[in-house]
Every structure is written in C-alpha cells, then in structure tokens.
Amino acid sequence: MHRTATQKTATRKTAMHKTLVVTNDFPPRPGGIQAFLHNMALRLDPERLVVYASTWKRGREGAEASAAFDAEQPFTVVRDATTMLLPTPGATRTAVRLLREHGCTSVWFGAAAPLGLMAPALRKAGAERLVATTHGHEAGWAQLPAARQLLRRIGESTDTITYLGEYTRSRIATALTPDAASRMAQLPPGVDEKTFHPGSGGDVVRARLGLTDRPVVVCVSRLVPRKGQDTLILAMPRILAAEPDAVLLIVGGGPYEKELRKLARETRVTDSVRFTGTLPWSELPAHYGAGDVFAMPCRTRRGGLDVEGLGIVYLEASATGLPVVAGDSGGAPDAVLDGETGWVVRGGSVEETAERITVLLGDAELRRRMGERGREWVEEKWRWDLLAEKLKALL
C-alpha cells in the first residue's frame, strides 16, 4: 500500500523526534547559561532542532547581532522581537505554532522558570517529552514562596526537571511534588576539553603581561562580590609574605571592578594585581594557562539568594591542568574533588584562601599532581559530548 505524501511526512516527522528549544538564554547574549544551551544545541542533530529565543538587545544592533549569529548556526533559530521572552499568551501561541509547523515531539526549556509554564499548552499541542533545565539561581529561589509555587507547577507539567549537581538538586527538590522530584535528572554543563588543555598558550600571555618567571594566581569570572576576587586581593599580603613575586591575575569584567581596584590600592598590592577586563572567548584558554594556580573563593550572599550554581570555571581550570582553590558557596564544591583536584575553602575566608594558595605556590609537585588529576576528571566526567548524550536520552 502506498502512503500519501502527507502520511509520509507525518510518519517521518514522528520518527525524527524533533526538539523545540524555548529559551531566553542564547548567544550572542554572553554568559554561562547561554554557553550551556549553545554547546548542547551544537551537539544535537541540527535537522531535528528548532530554537525559539528572545533577541539579544533592544534596537537595531541587538537584532543585527542576533541575526548574524543565527545565520551561522547549523540549526533553525526563530527570534522573538522581545528581549525577554515570558510565558504570555502571545509567546505561548508562537511556541505552539513552531512545535506544530516543525513537527516537534519534544521540548527543552533552557531555563525552567518561568518559560516552563508553557508546558501544558505545548503538551496539548502534541509535545510528548518536556524537559526543563535548572541552573544555579533556582536553588536560591526555591526558598521563596512564590518561586516555589512556580517551580512546583512546572515540575508537575513537565517530564523531567534537570539539575546541576547535588547542591541544587537538594534545594530545588523541596519545592516539587515527591513525584516530580523523583523524575529529576542531572544535566550539568560540560567543558570543552579540546579548547581548555595544558599548554594552551599561557607563556605568551605571561610574556605579554611581563609575568614570565613570576608565580601567577589566576581567577576567571565576572566581577561581582559573590565570586570572591575581593578575598583574593585581601589574601595577597599573606601570599606575598611567602612568595614576594606572586601576582594575582584577575580575568573578567563586571560591576565590582571599581571597588576591587580601590581595594587593591587600600591593601597596597596594586603592583601584584593585574586586571584584564572582559576578554573574548578565544583569549580565555591562554589566560587560564598563564596561571600556576586557579583560585575563586566564592561565597554565598543575600541570605542564600546569591549563590554559586556549579562553578564551571573550576572545571575549565582543571581541564587546563591547574590545581584549583574554590569557595564553598552552593554547588561550587561539586566542581572540585577536594584534596585531589584542589581544595574547597570557606568562601570569604582570607586566611584559608591565602594558606591554600601559598602551599600550592610553594609545591610544584603538588600542583602537577592536582592539575593532572583535574584534567583526567574532566575527561572522564565533564566532556560536552558525554553530557549531550544525556540530554538526548531525556528528550
């Protein structure tokens, strides 16, 4: 029996299991969640993927940058004109239309809340699998009554809520029904082990900055109080007492920069602290490579609302072969094998931070061992390809 063209298309569409990604967090907007989504998207079959995302910025520049980015992707990206996609009736209608038009059978919400509220409408329109991903901030929200309600509803109407690590799982699960909590699955971002690797060009960066032969402590992150660059600056006098040539290389930009520069002056360590500002992505591996030790003693703030989700930078440092000193905020310890790939210190503790960094700067063999173990761990557990397989299975 011959099938009609329509039947064939329908059969093919169902068999193809296409996925609709609904997200506010997608490049060219920069950031950790955006990179997470993009890296996953690049590892799904481009023929079976449609991304519905907001536009990066208001005005012509934002629209043009978004369009230029989209044109380079192997999959289809549909932009909403708004810069902030919300689960409004209009946006939900668009998502439903895209689901139908492209014959998608699964949906991935790049961030569970609030767009996960579209789930019932998409289910009704034919979605068979709905996966909603959580990042760091939901663990903080899970303390707030309104956000708990929201997460609970989203948990009930999706098949799987994903979490980054044990810390975020335990917090978010308390907001869900027992049934939704039991359907949770781990989906952390990965690390590109080919981009971040030992010998990534650190010598060139050191030479450029005049740091050849000096012990370098590197921190790569946005400059916000939670990340603990201030603790590192305050730790410098103690570190310098043991290692007078040591330099703190602060990579990244952000609203806290002025304060940090002021703190370096007040602590009288300006000669031993370098700020690079925000760097293009292509410069990051070599800047990790410029360090002997990676340190970011992050701390939890605002009563638990401002908390680290995972701390992917520790894994990027490990992939580069550096030992890491991490803070104990939220899920940061999930990215460190304490005592093996580095150490976890009390976030905000100047003494502990200084002590661990000093020990590492003074012991090349220990640095090598921890760096090698870190590299190995990333290859075993944190490769994107491995994690994308997990997502495919969920979808």
User: What are residue 8's phi and psi, to 5 degrees?
Assistant: -60, -45
| Closest among 99, 296, 37, 214 to 107, alpha carbons compared | 99
Q: Which of the stretches 19-27, 278-286, 354-362, 381-389 binds ligand GDP when contact is defined by CB under 6 A?
A: 278-286
Cβ proximity to ligand GDP: between 103 and 348 the closer is 348
Cβ proximity to ligand GDP: between 289 and 311 the closer is 311
* 255 lines the binding site for ligand GDP (CB under 6 A): no
Structure tokens at 255: 């609203």
Q: What stretch of H or E contains 375?
A: helix 364-381
Cβ proximity to ligand GDP: between 174 and 281 the closer is 281
* 220 lines the binding site for ligand GDP (CB under 6 A): yes
Could you tell me the maximum CA-CA distance found in the chain, to the nearest angstrom?
85
Cβ proximity to ligand GDP: between 50 and 216 the closer is 216
Asked if 356 contacts 345 with a C-beta cutoff of 8 angstroms, the reply is yes
Cβ proximity to ligand GDP: between 231 and 358 the closer is 231
Residues 6+ apart with CB under 8 A from 366: 323, 359, 360
Residues 5-44, interacting with ligand GDP (CB under 6 A): 31-32, 35
Measure the CA–CA gap between 77 and 62, rounded to whole angstroms. Answer: 15
Cβ proximity to ligand GDP: between 165 and 371 the closer is 165
- Which residue in 12, 97, 278, 302 binds ligand GDP (CB under 6 A)? 278
Smallest gap, in angstroms, from Cβ of residue 92 to ligand GDP?
A: 27
Cβ proximity to ligand GDP: between 252 and 327 the closer is 252
| Closest among 304, 336, 21, 309 to 189, alpha carbons compared | 309
- Which residue in 29, 171, 222, 373 binds ligand GDP (CB under 6 A)? 222
Cβ proximity to ligand GDP: between 243 and 257 the closer is 257
Smallest gap, in angstroms, from Cβ of residue 32 to ligand GDP?
A: 3
- Which residue in 54, 55, 106, 221 binds ligand GDP (CB under 6 A)? 221
Asked if 209 contacts 249 with a C-beta cutoff of 8 angstroms, the reply is yes
* 313 lines the binding site for ligand GDP (CB under 6 A): yes
Asked if 16 contacts 48 with a C-beta cutoff of 8 angstroms, the reply is yes
Residues 283-312, interacting with ligand GDP (CB under 6 A): 284, 311-312
Measure the CA–CA gap between 291 and 374, rounded to whole angstroms. Answer: 15
Count the site residues for ligand GDP by CB under 6 A. Answer: 18
Measure the CA–CA gap between 54 and 84, rounded to whole angstroms. Answer: 6
**Helix/strand/coil for 345:** strand
- Closest residue to ligand GDP, judged by C-beta, is 32
Measure the CA–CA gap between 309 and 340, rounded to whole angstroms. Answer: 21
* Side-chain half-sphere CA neighbours of 50 within 13 A: 22
Tell me the per-residue interface mask from 314 to 333 with ligand GDP, x by CB under 6 A, - otherwise. --x-----------------
For ligand GDP, the binding residues (CB under 6 A) are 31-32, 35, 220-222, 251-253, 278-281, 284, 311-313, 316
